[in-house]
């Protein structure tokens, strides 16, 4: 046994084992304390209630607490391993969360009626009933006909002379509707194209006119009603005014908070970081 203890190979192995054990012991993280508070239990229970429409039973609550502990352990271990570093998604989420916090803190108390009225008066152009039109149309497809504009033009006299139901039997089947009631010009532009919508304000009421070209083909149109743009009364627009003013306050709070933070940092961009882009 003495001879073995003096063997150089044995000594090296023994020292290696000691070094490995010490290194392993030093490398271990101290055990951390995870406390599950009543606020944590209330929070996970409230989340369950919001999703399921009822409070969790004892078994479900126990599983929710286990999930909370699992998430907390994994979160702390991820931080210990620096997994939050150099991760674009984590960076953006943290920046977004801080922005939300700054907006909420800076938004302050709900706006008074006087502040809402002042905002409404300063931005009346945002609170209007947009102009609307009601019309019917007959359609000729650009895919089916070589000259749908001529077909529409030639059919207008027949439409004018015909009865109320004549227009329903003419033209091609249309993908959307033949009648449109109280649509804004922007809504019509989204359906038919900008050129079609811009032609409608110049039409006379209760007469067939055209042809008007759209993204689909050609149309004969009869304008049945026109409603001009008009202001929305303050009381009718109040909900939108409150939403817009609070959004403005949040934006301003966020910009002010960032401007203050920015003063704490000295930023340098190394010329080599830009490469050739600096001269573009």
Domain stop point among 230, 255, 272? 230
What's the burial of 191, exposed, middle or buried (CB within 10 Å: 0-12/13-18/19+)? middle
> Which is more confidently placed, 29 or 140?
140
pLDDT, tens digit (0-9, with 9 covering 90-100), for 69-98: 888 788 888 888 888 888 888 888 888 887
Q: The domain containing residue 240 runs over which residues?
A: 95-127+232-280
Please indicate, yes or no, whether residues 246 and 121 belong to a single structural domain of this protein: yes
Please indicate, yes or no, whether residues 224 and 246 belong to a single structural domain of this protein: no
> What is the DSSP secondary-structure string of 98-152?
HHHHHHHHHH-SPPPHHHHHHHHHHTGGGSEE--EEEEEEEEEETTT-S-HHHHH
Please indicate, yes or no, whether residues 139 and 226 belong to a single structural domain of this protein: yes
Please indicate, yes or no, whether residues 157 and 278 belong to a single structural domain of this protein: no
Please indicate, yes or no, whether residues 177 and 253 belong to a single structural domain of this protein: no
Q: Is the pLDDT of residue 9 over 80?
A: no
Please indicate, yes or no, whether residues 190 and 105 belong to a single structural domain of this protein: no
Please indicate, yes or no, whether residues 238 and 221 belong to a single structural domain of this protein: no
pLDDT, tens digit (0-9, with 9 covering 90-100), for 201-260: 888 998 999 899 998 999 999 999 998 888 888 998 999 999 999 888 888 888 888 888
Task: Provide the mean pLDDT of the chain.
Answer: 81
Strand partners, 160: none
Please indicate, yes or no, whether residues 210 and 226 belong to a single structural domain of this protein: yes
Please indicate, yes or no, whether residues 243 and 114 belong to a single structural domain of this protein: yes
Please indicate, yes or no, whether residues 111 and 237 belong to a single structural domain of this protein: yes
From the centroid of its chain, how far is CA 49? 26
Please indicate, yes or no, whether residues 200 and 224 belong to a single structural domain of this protein: yes
């Amino acid at each position: 046994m003495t001879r073995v203890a003096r063997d150089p190979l044995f000594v090296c192995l023994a020292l290696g084992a000691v070094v490995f054990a010490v290194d392993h012991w030093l490398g271990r993280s101290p055990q951390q304390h995870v406390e599950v508070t009543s606020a944590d239990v209330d929070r996970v229970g409230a989340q369950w209630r919001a999703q399921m429409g009822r409070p969790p039973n004892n078994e479900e609550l126990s599983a929710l607490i286990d999930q909370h502990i699992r998430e907390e352990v994994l979160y702390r271990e991820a931080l210990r391993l620096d997994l939050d570093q150099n991760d674009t998604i984590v960076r953006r989420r943290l920046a977004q969360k801080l922005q939300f916090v700054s907006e909420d803190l800076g938004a302050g108390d709900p706006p008074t009626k006087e502040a809402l009225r002042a905002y409404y008066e300063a931005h009346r152009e945002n609170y209007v009933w947009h102009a609307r039109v009601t019309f019917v149309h007959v359609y000729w497809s650009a895919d089916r006909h070589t000259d749908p504009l001529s077909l529409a033009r030639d059919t207008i006299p027949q439409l004018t002379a015909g009865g109320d139901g004549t227009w329903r039997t003419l033209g091609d089947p249309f993908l959307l509707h033949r009648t449109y009631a109280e649509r804004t010009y922007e809504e019509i532009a989204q359906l038919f194209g900008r050129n079609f919508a811009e032609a409608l304000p110049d039409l006379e009421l209760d007469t067939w006119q055209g042809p008007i070209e759209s993204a689909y083909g050609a149309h004969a149109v009869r304008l049945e009603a026109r409603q001009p743009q008009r202001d929305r009364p303050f009381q009718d627009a109040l909900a939108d005014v409150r939403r817009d003013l609070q959004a403005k306050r949040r934006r301003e709070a966020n910009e002010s908070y960032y401007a203050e933070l920015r003063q704490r940092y000295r930023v340098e961009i190394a010329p080599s970081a830009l490469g050739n882009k600096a001269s573009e």
